[in-house]
């Protein structure tokens, strides 16, 4: 009988240890003032649990225990650098991966004009799009301009005529808040000789239904060749009827925009 009792206690202890082995660590916290930077971005990775390590990558690959170990704040200087980080610890399952993409300043923009946003999500007006702040995933962040109109027009006035080839637009996707990516984005450049905005290119967006949660989505539109101008128009076409798979089907969606960047040949 004593042997049976001993066996039960032993198996119970093994079960407890096995359960502990199955615990998953929480992901690390990425701390930074903004995903946008002029010369350098500083990123802190924070996790306080003893006997754990944070490993990270800067090349787009998923972090493993063989990846670089975090020991001091990261310094990012290259454009479109994605930091991915994960916590590892003995007898624990690795955490989920957290990530953020850091975006360097492009061509200097003197001012911006835009369709009037909804009063609830007006940020700091059009300058919200060029203040080097943003990259948040919260709807209530003042770094977003929110719209619920058929189209949204943004006009960027550069300091001087420059050759540009790419435009980056920060967008929010949060289906729970009825915020979708646009159906289409069209890019125009002002033609001085003809005195109007000439269409250069457009991009169509797919509305994937398998995405849950709130995501900051920096979208880059690339032209086939560089165009020289000092005035750029961006027209975003809002989803006029939310798809049938969504609870808000048939209604017009919201569109949220923050920082916009313009780049020349790289």
Task: Output the average pLDDT for the chain.
Answer: 89
Specify the range with the lowest mean pLDDT, choosing from 136-145, 206-215, 231-240: 206-215
Phi, psi for 208 (deg, rounded to 5): -70, 130
pLDDT bracket for residue 245 (50, 70, 90)? very high
- The domains located in the chain, with CATH, are 2-104 (2.60.40), 109-263 (2.60.120.260)
CA 82, CA 53: separation in Å to the nearest integer?
20
Burial of residue 56, with CB atoms counted within 10 A of its CB: 0-12 exposed, 13-18 middle, 19 or more buried:
buried
The tens digit of pLDDT for each residue in 117-141 reads 999 999 999 999 999 888 888 899 9
Share of the chain above pLDDT 70, in %: 91
DSSP H helices, the chain, are 2-21
The tens digit of pLDDT for each residue in 42-96 reads 999 999 888 999 999 999 899 999 999 999 999 999 888 999 999 999 889 999 9
CA 115, CA 117: separation in Å to the nearest integer?
6
Tokens representing residue 243 in the block: 């798809």
Quick one: pLDDT at residue 53? 96
Which is higher by pLDDT, 174 or 1? 174
Quick one: pLDDT at residue 132? 87
Tokens representing residue 36 in the block: 């946008």
Query: What one-character DSSP code corresponds to residue 179?
Result: B
CA 256, CA 152: separation in Å to the nearest integer?
10
Average pLDDT in the 172-196 region? 95
> Tokens 């991915």 identify what position?
84
CA 189, CA 107: separation in Å to the nearest integer?
15
- Residue 102 CB neighbour total at 10 angstroms: 24
The tens digit of pLDDT for each residue in 6-53 reads 444 444 444 444 444 569 999 999 999 888 888 999 999 999 888 999
* pTM: predicted TM-score of the whole model, two decimal places: 0.77
């Amino acid at each position: 009988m004593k042997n049976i009792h001993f066996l039960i206690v032993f198996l119970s202890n093994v079960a407890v240890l096995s359960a502990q082995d199955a615990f998953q660590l929480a992901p690390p916290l990425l701390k930074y003032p903004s995903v946008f930077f002029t010369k350098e971005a500083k990123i802190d990775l924070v996790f306080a649990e003893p006997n754990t390590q944070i490993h990270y990558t800067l090349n787009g690959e998923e972090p493993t225990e063989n990846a670089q170990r975090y020991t001091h704040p990261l310094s990012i200087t290259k454009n479109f650098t994605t930091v991915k980080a994960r916590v590892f610890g003995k007898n624990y399952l690795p955490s989920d991966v957290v990530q953020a993409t850091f975006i360097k300043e492009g061509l200097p923009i003197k001012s911006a004009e835009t369709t009037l946003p909804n009063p609830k999500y007006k940020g700091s007006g059009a300058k919200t799009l060029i203040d080097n702040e943003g990259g948040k995933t919260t709807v209530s962040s003042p770094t977003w301009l929110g719209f619920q109109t058929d189209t949204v027009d943004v006009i960027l006035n550069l300091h001087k005529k420059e050759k540009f080839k790419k435009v980056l637009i920060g967008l929010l996707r949060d289906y729970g808040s009825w915020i979708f990516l646009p159906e289409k984005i069209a890019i125009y450049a002002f033609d001085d000789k003809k005195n109007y905005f000439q269409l250069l290119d457009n991009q169509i967006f797919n509305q994937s239904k398998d995405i849950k949660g709130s995501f900051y989505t920096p979208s880059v539109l690339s032209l086939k060749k560089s165009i020289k101008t000092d005035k750029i128009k961006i027209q975003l076409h809002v989803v006029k009827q939310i798809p049938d798979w969504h609870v808000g089907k048939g209604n017009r969606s919201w569109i949220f925009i923050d920082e916009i960047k313009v780049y020349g040949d790289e």
